[in-house]
Structure 1
Amino acid sequence: MSNCPALPEAKAKDDQTVKSRLVKRSTDCPNRWSLFNNRCFHYIPRPMTWAQAEKNCQSMGANLASVQNIQEYQEIQRLIRAASYQSKEAWLGGSDAQEERLWLWSDGSRFQYLNWCNGQPDNGRSQQHCLQMNYGADKCWDDLSCGATRPSVCAKKV
């Protein structure tokens, strides 16, 4: 029976499921945002400082993205590749500007998933307090001067 074609009724039900998911996706997130893990993500290609990028995200009701697990990180990487056709470095919402080596997400979530590059964060010249992603060949995290300009990724809860 496993090789039998789907009955028309079953196919119609599957089509409705797909349609309802598409409608849900478009109503949960604003235009050009992507839904993943009950959050909406948006890649901003225009380079800005970390503070400018966070302010820009806040103007859209979001924050620079926090990353809670490897699946979210891979989804954010996919968004960047889809928009830029590259694995560009970009700001995420991590910072230790308030206290050295105490990394916090700008959205207030816990800093539990880590994807630092080997030897990072190193706080180069004691001036690197903001988190960029897709750094180096391993496309991992690096701490960078917050005044550097990068594209960014915003996120907000659905």
Structure 2
Amino acid sequence: MGRLLLVLFLGNVAILEQVLAQFGGGGFADSDDCNFCEDGWTGVIAYGKCYKITTEKMTWWNALLECKSLGGELATILSNNENDYISSVLLAPSEENFGFWFGANDIDNAFNFVWPSESPVSFTDWAPNQPDNHGGIEHCLMRWKTYDWKWNDYQCQKQLPSVCQKRIRSDRNDRERIIRCHPKYSRLSGLLSRG
């Protein structure tokens, strides 16, 4: 039962996010053994993702290719908690950039945003009066510092830094490491050790 729960958690962000909320959040002990991401990437196991800001400014298309060359993709945002994490931890420290590329676009059908996987965008956090497809040429998602990192549709050919993501490094044998690394997992530990 314990192994099945962990596999479900590692494979289903929504379930793990609910469990982490119930058991005290997503903070981890400060240890190299607790780093589930490669050097230069940061992540939260609740989202099953590692994130990396690429500071070089490039078009949305080139950002898409850059993230692929790093073994990932332009970041997707699937929940309010993930959106808040990205805003406060990844984007807020940025002084010189007014926006970052993310993976959603409506290139094929205006106002019908999809992620690079072609899955529809279900969670959104648009800035006021956005998306607006201003001038009929704004089709790519960027997060906008001007509006407290809210979402904006923007011209894909503009040059911005971007946020990439890749799956977190984990396997089915990570149960003990997850429990050890998360300081508030005592109740979760009991659930996972059953069976």
TM-score range, shorter chain: 0.7 to 0.9
Structure whose CA Rg is larger: 1
1:114-151 Cα distance to aligned partner (Å, 9 max, x none): 00111111101110000110242342111011000111
Q: What does residue 34 of structure 1 align with?
A: 42
The verdict on how the C-alpha distance between 1:57 and 1:68 changes in structure 2, with shifts beyond 3 A counting, is same
Matched, 1:60 2:64: no
What code does the residue aligned with 1:18 have?
A
Q: What does residue 91 of structure 2 align with?
A: 80
Q: Where does the alignment leave 5 or more consecutive residues of structure 1 unmatched? A: 1-16
Moved over 6 A (4+): none
Matched, 1:125 2:135: yes
1:39-69 Cα distance to aligned partner (Å, 9 max, x none): 0000111111000001000001111000011
Using the TM superposition, name which of 122-131 and 102-111 deviates more.
102-111
As a proportion of its length, which structure holds more helix? 2
Aligned CA-pair RMSD: 2.0
Query: When the two structures are aligned, how many residues end up with a matched partner?
Result: 138
Using the TM superposition, name which of 102-111 and 66-75 deviates more.
102-111
How is 1:1-158 mapped onto 2 (pairs within 5 angstroms)?
A: 18=29, 22-25=32-35, 28-36=36-44, 37-77=47-87, 78-82=89-93, 84-85=94-95, 88-158=98-168
Q: What does residue 12 of structure 1 align with?
A: none
As a proportion of its length, which structure holds more strand? 1
Please report the TM-score for the alignment, with normalisation by the length of structure 1: 0.78
What SS is found at the alignment partner of 2:147?
coil
Please report the TM-score for the alignment, with normalisation by the length of structure 2: 0.64
Q: What does residue 175 of structure 2 align with?
A: none
Report the alpha carbon displacement of residue 24 of structure 1 after superposing the two structures with TM: 3.2
1:62-99 Cα distance to aligned partner (Å, 9 max, x none): 110000112212222221234x3467410000100011
1:17-42 Cα distance to aligned partner (Å, 9 max, x none): 936x64131xx311010112210000
